[in-house]
Structure formats: structure tokens, C-alpha cells
Amino acid sequence: MAVWRVRDFVAEDLEGVVRLDGESRTSEQPAVFRLSEVVAALQGRNPGVVAVAGGHLVGAAVGRQLTSGVGRLTDFAGSWGAR
């Protein structure tokens, strides 16, 4: 099993995040957050991190400031541990 490394999200990770969303459909339950929300938060320069294992993106998380001033963690979990 590859060692995971968590690092800051960079714009070049966006394609991997979208790919990860497509690969992570493991149940009939709808996603907690729509992919469009996650992409908007990442493109909006909100703080985000990705987990990388064996050179592959295996997870991502992003924080977002709501208009009310209250923060919310938008958790976007993908193929955690699948690599």
C-alpha cells in the first residue's frame, strides 16, 4: 500500500478531483455535495487540500466561507484507500 501525502490543492489538481468524483460512485446514495459546489469552492480560491498516494490523487477536501460569515467544511471524499 502506498504512503499517503496530504498537500495544498493547486489548480492542476482540478482535473483529478473531477475524475475522482466519477470514480467514487460506490453506493446508490446521492453525494452530500454536488461536484459543481466543490469545483466552485476550489476555483474560488478557498483553502483546499488533496491526498496523493503512489502519484495518484485519492482524496480532496475544501473549506468554504458562507455569505452569512459562518464557515462550512465541504468534504469531498473519493477513492480513499483504493490505491
CATH number at residue 57: 3.40.630.30
> What is the reported pLDDT for 32?
75
In this prediction the pTM is 0.71
44 is a domain residue: yes
Is residue 17 assigned to a domain?
Answer: yes
Query: What pLDDT does residue 45 have?
Result: 76
pLDDT tens digits, 21-76: 888 766 677 777 788 888 888 888 788 899 999 988 988 888 876 666 555 555 55
Interatomic CA distance for residues 70 and 64, integer angstroms = 9
Which of 71, 63, 75 has its CA nearest to residue 21? Answer: 75
Residue 82 within any structural domain of the chain: no
Report if residue 81 sits inside a domain. Answer: no
Give the number of other Cβ atoms within 10 Å of residue 64's Cβ. Answer: 18
Residue range of the domain that includes 12 = 4-76
Distance (Å, whole) CA 78 – CA 18: 10
* Number of folded domains that form the chain: 1
Report if residue 83 sits inside a domain: no
Q: Give burial (CB, 10 Å; 0-12/13-18/19+) of 28.
A: exposed
In a domain, 64, yes or no: yes
83 vs 74: which has the higher pLDDT: 74
Provide the pLDDT confidence category of residue 81 given band limits of 50, 70 and 90: very low
- Note whether residue 72 is domain-resident: yes
DSSP 2: P
